[in-house]
Amino acid sequence: MLLAPRLAQFTAVARHEHVTRAALELGMPQPTLSRALVRLEEDLGVALFARHGRTLSLTPAGRAFLASTERALTDLERATESVRADVDPAAGKVAFGFLHTLGSETVPGLIRSFRADHPRVRFQLVQNYGEAMIERLRAGDLDLCLTSPVPDYPDLVARRLDEQKLRLVVPDDHALAGRKRIRLAEAAGELFVTLEPGYGLRRITDALCAEAGFTPRIAFEGEEAETLRGLVAAGLGVALLPPPAVPRPGVAELTVTAPRAVREIGVAWLDGHPDTPPVAAFKKFLLGRRGKLLPR
């Protein structure tokens, strides 16, 4: 850390092999630069330059130090350019996480609408389940995430944006397949296919079944809603799922009349974390979509 401010001074002198010309390039007094070089050599405990009157030449140690210094300055310049590019209001970056079930239709539509007014903003997109995205928010890997249930943690800010009806999905040759509506208690004797523990939809499924008066018997656990639909189509159980992006053959989807089967979708971010201009713009856009986030 003591050396960092003097690396550019050292490389300028090494390039010019002349303190006065290097001082002119750096916009600093020549005596100040000369003293800085001496302090640098004293801190390192090695002579970097051989002095010949007003000119200098690198010692072997100086040449070795210069190669590493130039790489360090190049990396610093690239890092500076990268972070400046990410916060650019017109062309910066938004790291945005969302649930797998929102990836096929909802998120592409959101980004398309947002980029109508912000065409150069870049997105780093991350699909995951809710708790994993919360951890990535806390780690600083994400700026915002769409998740369900809406999280309630003291270190996060979360806003409800919309709700999505859940359906009881059964095989198309199931005894219930001819029904349009069902009370969830009527499925108490069925085998269920669900997402794994830790997924928001799994917590909602367990809670709704408990409200209906039973604990679901789990036949299979998965990581993705459309995989569960495939398992249902294969006759391996029933499932509580949000509507598919496109109809899936082999299943029937029943409206659940009791209890009220919905999942809330919300946006979350780390409390106290300063927003870059592109993140602030996208957050404002999302909050403006309250009640109209999801396709109807």
Q: Is residue 296 part of a domain?
A: no
Examine the domain organization and report whether 184 and 146 are in the same domain. no
The whole-model pTM stands at: 0.77
Q: How far is CA 43 from CA 6, 23, 39, 48, 133, in A?
A: 11, 21, 6, 11, 46
Contacts of 240 (CB under 8 A, 6+ apart): 166, 167, 168, 169, 184, 192, 194, 201, 204, 205, 208, 256, 261
Residues 9-34 pLDDT 10s:
888 888 888 888 989 988 999 999 98
SS3 232: helix
The answer to whether residue 295 is domain-embedded is no
Query: Are 233 and 178 part of one and the same domain?
Result: yes
Is residue 146 domain-shared with residue 280, that is, in the same domain?
yes
pLDDT in tens, the chain (296 residues): 456 668 888 888 888 888 889 899 889 999 999 899 898 899 889 999 998 877 889 999 999 999 989 898 888 888 878 788 788 888 899 999 999 889 888 999 999 999 999 999 999 999 999 899 999 999 999 999 999 999 999 999 999 999 999 999 999 999 999 999 999 999 999 999 999 998 999 999 999 999 999 999 999 999 999 999 999 999 999 999 999 888 899 999 999 999 999 999 999 999 998 999 999 999 999 999 999 998 76
Domain CATH for 247: 3.40.190.10
φ, ψ of residue 143 to 5 degrees: the values are -90, -40
Listed residues 52, 87, 122: the one ending a domain: 87
Are residues 188 and 256 part of one domain? Answer: yes
Whether residue 248 is contained in a domain is answered as yes
Last residue of a domain, one of 87, 112, 132: 87
What CATH number does the domain containing 26 carry?
1.10.10.10
Q: What is the b/e burial string over 23-36, where b = at least 16 CB atoms within 10 angstroms of the residue's CB? A: beebeeebeebbeb
Question: Residue 86: its pLDDT value, please?
Answer: 81
Q: Answer yes or no: is 190 within a domain.
A: yes
Same domain, 111 and 70: no
Q: What pLDDT is recorded for position 120?
A: 95
pLDDT of residue 1: 45
Q: Is residue 112 part of a domain?
A: yes
Tell whether 293 is covered by a domain.
no
* The pLDDT of residue 3: 60
Give me the sheet containing 167-171, strands edge to edge.
181-183, 251-258, 167-171, 239-241
Exposed / middle / buried, residue 18 (Cβ in 10 Å: 0-12, 13-18, 19+):
middle
Task: Mark whether 171 and 256 lie in a shared domain.
Answer: yes
Q: Are residues 173 and 254 in the same domain?
A: yes
CB neighbour class for 96 (10 Å; exposed up to 12, middle 13-18, buried from 19): buried
Residue 231: partners with Cβ closer than 8 Å, 6 or more residues away: 193, 220, 222, 237, 239
State residue 95 phi and psi, 5-degree precision. Answer: -90, 110
Q: Is position 211 within any domain? A: yes
Number of domains in the chain: 3
Q: Is residue 213 part of a domain?
A: yes
Residues 17 and 97 in one domain: no
Residues 194, 60: one domain?
A: no
- What tokens were used for 259? 């209890």
The full DSSP string for 197-209 is TTSHHHHHHHHHH
Q: Looking at residue 104, what is its pLDDT?
A: 85
How confident is the model at residue 2, as a pLDDT? 55
* Residue 280 sits in the same domain as residue 151: yes
The residue type at 240: L
Same domain, 7 and 79: yes
Domain region containing 76: 3-87
Measure the CA angle with vertex 52, ends 47 and 54; round to 5°.
105
245 is written with which tokens? 């992006």
Are residues 275 and 243 part of one domain?
no
